[in-house]
A and B are shown apart, each in its own frame.
Chain A
Amino acid sequence: MKAPVSAAVQAVLSMAVLMTTQHAGAEQISKTQPADARGEVEIVNVAGSVEVSTWDRSEVQIDADLGSNVERLDFRKDGSRTYIKVVLPRMSSGGGAADLVVKIPRDSGLIVNTVSAEQIIKGVRGAQRLQAVSGGIETEFGPGDLELKTVSGSVIARGLDGKGLVRATTVSGDLEITKAGPELDLNTVTGDMNVTLDRLDRGRIKTTNGDLDLTTALGDDARLEAEAINGDLRFHLRGEIDAEFDIETFNGDIDNCFGPEPRRSREYGPGNELRFSQGKGGARVHIKTLNGTVMVCKR
């Protein structure tokens, strides 16, 4: 009986020694300072993670776990803006990781710049500008606008109240957007996009090789432009549809669940086009692809 207990103690001690060794030189910081309730918080962190949540206080609180390669954490207020910046040594090879847990005023704006750090943001109602290179971004947003840029990181964005403009650019990262405001501007190269909205008023979507799945109702005067080279564009339209459709593809197919059949746009070559008006025709939908397939259906 004693032998197993001894082994367990040894294992726990070994783990403790290992963890101590790994965190040699690491530092934990916890600070709070006053901030404007509707100000802006800017966070810069190269690697690790950034978690932001909100509260009703006019204060910014940070709990930071700084890796051994981190030189220091700057945390200061300048006017209505609060800065949180993980500073690495000048000759650092860029490996300094830090895990930041930040609380900001609920209506504050937020700017986050990371390289390979993950971003998780909850409950922010002010405008957000989030940028990552390879790290993923997961955020709740609205009614403030949301601007996202990533290279390979994926994006999950959930609207809190269906308001605000969403502008997102990814290179290879996938985009998943739900309950966003009625205005969208999305751009990817190879990333896939899955977007679900209550209503769309203005939309501009461009992809090279990524696919799009857009589920939404169209506003009375909506304007939607979508473009793909090789990606497939699928539109699942909710509710009554009052729109004029103008769909062109050079090499792709058009698959529509309502309206007339597409027709060939060239007598002696590839190409399909579909132009028709549905209902009152107040909205305008313009879709074009080179090789991608277009699907327009009712949900």
Chain B
Amino acid sequence: MSDQRHKDDPLSQMLASLPREVPPERDLWQGIQAEITKTPIVTDAAPVVHFASTRWFQIAAGLLLVLATSFTTFVVTRQSMEKDAAMQMAQQQQQQQQQVPMAAPPLNAMPASFGPEALGADYMKARSDLNQRFQERVKTLPPSTRAKLERNLADLRHAADEISKTLSENPSDPLLQDLLMSTYQRELQLLADVSEMPLSNPVRTDL
């Protein structure tokens, strides 16, 4: 019923009268063939890799993106932390210039190779505060004890520097990462422990 109505339709009749094939105005194939013969023949020995269409390319691109992002984050964070560390150093140096020079080992900026980006500004501030308390407390101790403390603190910081330097050459080594984190923790612990040591001249309290 429906097919019959379409056949009666003038538009359908005109459509049916159109030729099924339209030959090209000129023969293009000869030109195409000539172009193909000019192109070097590709063999199996040197396969053309269509990068944009392979799965490996997509994976590599993804990895590259991840690496680039990580690296950018690392660089930006490190620069920020180095800036913070430098500011801390500058402040400390300023304070040291104003105060009596101290024999204690300097509070080095955190090594740039590892640590700041993981430990953050809060860590740097806590370390700086503890170091200041340590320096105040250590002044009240007998000279021989003070010397031992300073030497041991220097040992800890030297160990941290050594691990950090080694870590920069082996950045993915989990053993070095563990040891460095542990050494930083122990440095903080030492600073905190000494800050809480009993005073040589205890504050008098009425019991």
Shortest Cβ gap from A161 to chain B (Å): 29
Interface-lining segment among A86-94, A120-128, A276-284: A86-94
Does A131 contact B204, Cβ atoms closer than 8 Å? no
Interface-lining segment among B33-41, B42-50, B85-93, B170-178: B170-178
Does A151 reach chain B (CB closer than 8 Å)? yes
Residues of A contacting B193 in the complex (Cβ-Cβ under 8 angstroms): 149, 169
Partner of B201, one of A94, A133, A149: A94
Does B198 reach chain A (CB closer than 8 Å)? yes
Could you list 19 A-B pairs, sorted by A, with CB under 8 Å? Answer: A44-B198, A46-B198, A76-B207, A87-B202, A89-B204, A115-B142, A131-B198, A133-B142, A133-B200, A172-B148, A172-B151, A189-B155, A208-B159, A209-B159, A229-B159, A229-B163, A248-B175, A250-B176, A288-B175
B window 149-207: CB within 8 A of A? 149, 151-152, 155-156, 159, 162-163, 166, 170, 173, 175-176, 178-179, 182-183, 186, 189-190, 193-194, 197-202, 204, 207
A74-114, CB under 8 A of B: which get 1 and which 0? 10100000010101111011100000000000000000011
Knowing that A206-B182, A269-B170 are A-B contacts, what are 14 other residue pairs whose CB atoms are under 8 Å apart, sorted by A's residue number? A46-B201, A85-B207, A87-B202, A114-B198, A115-B142, A116-B145, A133-B142, A134-B142, A134-B145, A151-B145, A172-B152, A227-B182, A248-B175, A290-B166
Does A171 reach chain B (CB closer than 8 Å)? yes
Does B202 contact A44, Cβ atoms closer than 8 Å? yes
- Nearest residue (CB) in A for B166 is A250
Question: Chain A interface residue count: which class?
Answer: 35 or more
Compute how far the CA of A208 lies from the CA of B194 in the bound complex, rounded to whole angstroms.
Answer: 17
- Nearest residue (CB) in B for A228 is B179
A16-45, CB under 8 A of B: which get 1 and which 0? 000000000000000000000000000010
- Nearest residue (CB) in B for A85 is B207
A window 256-299: CB within 8 A of B? 269, 271, 288, 290
Shortest Cβ gap from A185 to chain B (Å): 12
Residues of B contacting A88 in the complex (Cβ-Cβ under 8 angstroms): 201-202, 204
Partner of A187, one of B145, B186, B199: B186
Q: Which of B166, B176, B202 has the most CB of A within 10 A?
A: B202
Does A94 contact B140, Cβ atoms closer than 8 Å? yes
Compute how far the CA of A88 lies from the CA of B159 in the bound complex, rounded to whole angstroms.
Answer: 39
Partner of A290, one of B144, B155, B162: B162
- Nearest residue (CB) in A for B197 is A133
Does B204 contact A189, Cβ atoms closer than 8 Å? no
Q: Is the interface of B mostly helix, strand, loop or mixed?
A: helix
Does B159 contact A230, Cβ atoms closer than 8 Å? yes
Shortest Cβ gap from B197 to chain A (Å): 6
Q: Is the interface of A mostly helix, strand, loop or mixed?
A: loop
Partner of A189, one of B175, B190, B198, B202: B190
Does B197 contact A131, Cβ atoms closer than 8 Å? yes
Does B145 contact A152, Cβ atoms closer than 8 Å? yes
Does A133 contact B166, Cβ atoms closer than 8 Å? no
Compute how far the CA of A44 lies from the CA of B200 in the bound complex, rounded to whole angstroms.
Answer: 11
Q: Taking beta carbons and an 8 Å cutoff, which residues of A are in contact with B?
A: 44, 46, 71, 74, 76, 83, 85, 87-90, 92-94, 113-116, 131, 133-134, 149, 151-152, 169, 171-172, 187, 189-190, 206, 208-209, 227, 229-230, 248, 250, 269, 271, 288, 290
Compute how far the CA of A225 lies from the CA of B202 in the bound complex, rounded to whole angstroms.
Answer: 37
Does B141 reach chain A (CB closer than 8 Å)? yes
Compute how far the CA of A46 lies from the CA of B197 in the bound complex, rounded to whole angstroms.
Answer: 11
Compute how far the CA of A115 lies from the CA of B51 in the bound complex, rounded to whole angstroms.
Answer: 73
**4 closest Cβ contacts across the A-B interface?**
A94-B200, A189-B152, A113-B198, A94-B201
Compute how far the CA of A90 lies from the CA of B197 in the bound complex, rounded to whole angstroms.
Answer: 18
Residues of A contacting B170 in the complex (Cβ-Cβ under 8 angstroms): 269
Does A90 contact B207, Cβ atoms closer than 8 Å? no
Does B145 contact A133, Cβ atoms closer than 8 Å? yes
Does B140 contact A290, Cβ atoms closer than 8 Å? no
Residues of B contacting A87 in the complex (Cβ-Cβ under 8 angstroms): 202, 204
Shortest Cβ gap from B43 to chain A (Å): 38
Does A250 contact B156, Cβ atoms closer than 8 Å? no
Residues of A contacting B175 in the complex (Cβ-Cβ under 8 angstroms): 248, 250, 271, 288
B71-101, CB under 8 A of A: which get 1 and which 0? 0000000000000000000000000000000
Compute how far the CA of A271 lies from the CA of B176 in the bound complex, rounded to whole angstroms.
Answer: 11
Residues of B contacting A44 in the complex (Cβ-Cβ under 8 angstroms): 198, 202
Compute how far the CA of A138 lies from the CA of B159 in the bound complex, rounded to whole angstroms.
Answer: 30
Does A115 contact B186, Cβ atoms closer than 8 Å? no
Residues of B contacting A209 in the complex (Cβ-Cβ under 8 angstroms): 155, 159
A134-B142, A269-B170 given as contacts; is B183 within 8 A of A229 (CB)? yes
